Amino acid sequence: MVVSLNPRLWRRGLLLLAILIMGHLWVTHQMINWNRQPAQRSPIIVTKRLINDETLPWDEAMARPWLEYYNNSSQSQSRHPPPVMILMTDIGWNQKNRSMGLARARFIRETELFTGVVNHPWFHPTAWDDIRSNRMVIRNDVRYYVFADELQCPDYNYPIYGGEINNSDSAHNRTTESNGPVVHACGGGTRKILQHRLLDATNNTAANAKLIIFNCQGNGWGKCAKETKHLPISIAALSATFNKIDEDRDQGLIPPAPTPITLSSKQEEEIRSCEAESKRDFKMLYVGNYRSGFNKNHIAKHGGARGSYEKLHDNKSIIIRQKYPPNEIKESVLANLTYPEFMGRTIFGLAPRGDNKFSYRFTEVLSAGAIPIYHGDDFVFPFRPELVDWNKCAIILPEKDAGKTTLDLINDIPIETRCKMRNYCYFGIYKKYVETDVGIIDGLVMGLEELAKGNKKPFPGVRCNSTSVANFDCNNMTYIESTEI
């Protein structure tokens, strides 16, 4: 008996068979690729703390795409990984032995910065050990930024100015005894770290990786010897001068704000709309001491980056006062205002260098939505210039031009220009890269990312030369050097 098949059913059967064959081939392909992958961890609960250091705050709400990428889901593996991985070593605070980790000193500023490291969305908490143990391959399509869990950033003046050892992080009974930085930018203390597969330049598997080291010393470190230039190290320096950094890899570090100003939503909207240009009633404001370093010849000739402004005080729109003696404040228009109130009402905020090249006040001025006026010769500004253009935000002038020269200049700035500067300062820099610890780490890393793309730009700032220094028209002295005069 001949059975005739319905042509429509025949076509459907062939289609179903083709789908089944293609499905089988796809599953086989995925199994082969899976077997080629390095050993994978079990599915990870993203909110779980995966660092050894239990004393660093861990943001359970932070999205962590690297953990999602490296779980056992083939769906997440099919997506492109993040372009950057941030790692922390495990030889100091973050070592597995918790008691030994607490035996390593750490300053409060370091705790804040490393809080930003471990809570950045691109941070992978176990990658340093995973790569060392061959559980994770080094990718050619990812750049790696490593932070060392060792003392490197002893800030003796934050959060308590002059607090010295009291600014150590003594929480959880951590030791406060230290003899200075354990690691530094010229390679000291980094030998063990640089032997890691990720950073070892002699290893053919070494990747695009940088070890970022914080330098919070007022005088900076001496410039590294030429033989260390090949090391994959990048300094983020709080108070460096141009002659002490490698402009091809280093950058400035934003100082913390001891008293950050929190603007209301209304004040922020006034900045956006340019209303702030008419509503802010102080043209220029400075409250602090008049110390400007120890270059006596330069100060004798030009008056000092801070003291030169004192004679401009009019107790109306220009307020230049010292905190001590306190009667200077009591007798001024500021007497009945709180610090946040008068900072939030100024158009320009003076933030000249003090004993060192940097100024904590610089960050307070940014937080207040004011336009910073900075004087500090040879100073390396925060972040890479490829990421942040300080010339679009701040008034940057030589120390010798402090005072009336600066006042004449800001009087000529059009309101429209001021508004653009204020918006870039506050929303383009402060809110993105300064306000939070995570934002600071993001700024440091993204600046190096821009540099890696080949977009190198010159640093802003006033540069000294031998003639200007000899004539005492440019002050290239740092705190330690100046005490030798």
| Exposure of 26 in the CB half-sphere (CA atoms within 13 A) | 7
Residue with tokens 């336009």: 371
Amino acid sitting at position 449: E
Most confident of 23-37, 67-81, 199-213, 470-484: 199-213
With H, G, I as helix, E, B as strand and everything else as coil, classify residue 244: helix
**347: Cβ–Cβ under 8 A, 6 or more apart, which residues?**
276, 277, 280, 282, 283, 284, 370, 371, 418
- pLDDT digits over 434-468, tens only? 999 999 999 999 999 999 999 899 999 999 999 99
Flag whether pLDDT at 15 surpasses 80: no
CB-based contact 395:372 (threshold 8 Å): yes
Average pLDDT over residues 234-250: 91
Identify the helix (H) or strand (E) that includes residue 117.
helix 108-118
Query: How is the chain split into domains, by residue range?
Result: 65-238, 265-436+457-470
CA angle, corner 462, sides to 219 and 358, nearest 5?
35
Q: With 0.85 as the threshold, say if the pTM is over it.
A: yes
Going by pLDDT thresholds of 50, 70 and 90, the confidence category of residue 483 is: very low
| Exposure of 114 in the CB half-sphere (CA atoms within 13 A) | 31
CATH number listed for the domain at residues 265-436+457-470: 3.40.50
